[in-house]
Amino acid sequence: MLKPILSKIALLTTLMVVVFSCQIDEDTPFADVELRRMPFNQRVFLLDSRAGESRIFEVDYDFQGLGDEATLKRLQHDFVPQGGHMTMSPDNKYLTVVVAKKATIYLVNIETGDVRELLLFNYNPDGMHYDEHWNNRRFFGKITQVDVDEDGYLFLAGKSGFFKVVADNGNGKKDPSNVNEGADIWTDTDPSLNGTQWDGQIWVHAVPFTFSGDAYVETADDGEDYFEDDLREFNPRKVKFLGGDIVFTQNDTETNGFESQRLLSFTQWRGNTAMALNLNWDWGKKTISFDASQVFGGNSKKHPFGRHYKIKGETMERVTGAALTGDNFIFTSHHQRDFLNLWNLHGDHIAKVKFTFEGELFKGENAAHNWGDMAATQAFDKNTYNPNALANSNNEIDGEYFDEWYRGHLEGHQYAEVKLYRPGSGMQKDPGNMSEEDYNSSKESRSNSANGDIADYRRNPAKFVSLGKGDGYIMLRFPQPVTVTDNTILQVVETTWNKSAQYSSIDAAFAAYREKADVYVLAGETPRYYSAGLEDSGAWVNVGKSSVANFEYNLGATLKGQQVQWIMIKDTGSYTPDGWDLNFASIYEAAREQ
pTM assigned to the model:
0.76
Pick from 12, 26, 21: which is nearest to 345 by CA?
Answer: 21
- What pLDDT band is residue 341 in, cutting at 50, 70 and 90? confident
Least confident of 91-95, 112-116, 297-301: 297-301
Residue 268 has pLDDT above 60, yes or no: no
What is the percent of the chain with per-residue pLDDT over 90, rounded to a whole number? 31
User: What pLDDT is recorded for position 312?
Assistant: 42
pLDDT above 50 for 49: yes
- The confidence score (pLDDT) of residue 384 equals 53
Whose CA is closest to 439, among 466, 460, 420, 417? 460
pLDDT of 390 > 60? The answer is yes
Q: How far apart are CA 326 and CA 59, in angstroms?
A: 13
Domain 8-376, CATH class in plain words: mainly beta
What is residue 306's predicted lDDT score, i.e. its pLDDT?
Answer: 37
More confident site: 459 or 369: 459
> 501-523 as b/e, with b when 16 or more CB fall inside 10 Å?
bebeebeebbebbebbbbbbbbb
pLDDT in tens, 65-110: 778 899 999 999 999 999 889 999 988 899 999 999 999 999 999 9
Distance CA 383, CA 388 (A): 9
User: Which pLDDT value is given to residue 267?
Assistant: 62
- CA 116/CA 190 separation, integer angstroms: 13
Residue 136 pLDDT exceeds 60: no
pLDDT exceeds 60 at position 138 = yes
pLDDT at 221 over 70: no
CATH architecture assignment, domain 389-589: Sandwich (2.60)
Q: Which of 60-64, 528-532, 539-543 tops mean pLDDT?
A: 539-543
User: In the predicted model, is pLDDT for residue 386 greater than 50?
Assistant: yes
Taking all residues of the chain, what is their mean pLDDT, rounded to a whole number? 75
- Could you give the C-alpha distances from 120 to 105, 133, 134, 278, in angstroms and in order? 7, 10, 10, 27
Lowest mean pLDDT among 300-314, 346-360, 384-398: 300-314
Render pLDDT for 156-204 as a digit per residue (tens, 0 to 9).
987 777 888 988 755 444 444 444 467 889 988 877 778 888 888 888 8
Check residue 368 and give its pLDDT: 60
The pLDDT score that the predictor gives to residue 269 is: 46
- The sign of the torsion formed by the CA atoms of 336, 342, 345, 350 equals negative
Provide mean pLDDT across the span 255-272: 59
Greater confidence (151 vs 23) lies with 151
Helices (H), 394-530: 402-405, 506-512
Ranges of each domain in the chain: 8-376, 389-589
| Integer angstrom CA distances of residue 457 from 40, 271, 300, 519, 545 | 23, 51, 51, 21, 21
Over residues 231-253, the pLDDT tens digits come to 445 555 566 665 566 777 665 55
Mean pLDDT of 350-369: 69
Dump pLDDT digits (tens) for 409-457: 999 999 998 888 888 887 755 544 444 444 333 445 787 777 888 899 9
Q: How open is the CA angle 77-81-85, to the nearest 5 degrees?
A: 90
Per-residue pLDDT band at 342 (split at 50, 70, 90): confident
Confidence band, pLDDT 50/70/90 cuts, at residue 229: very low
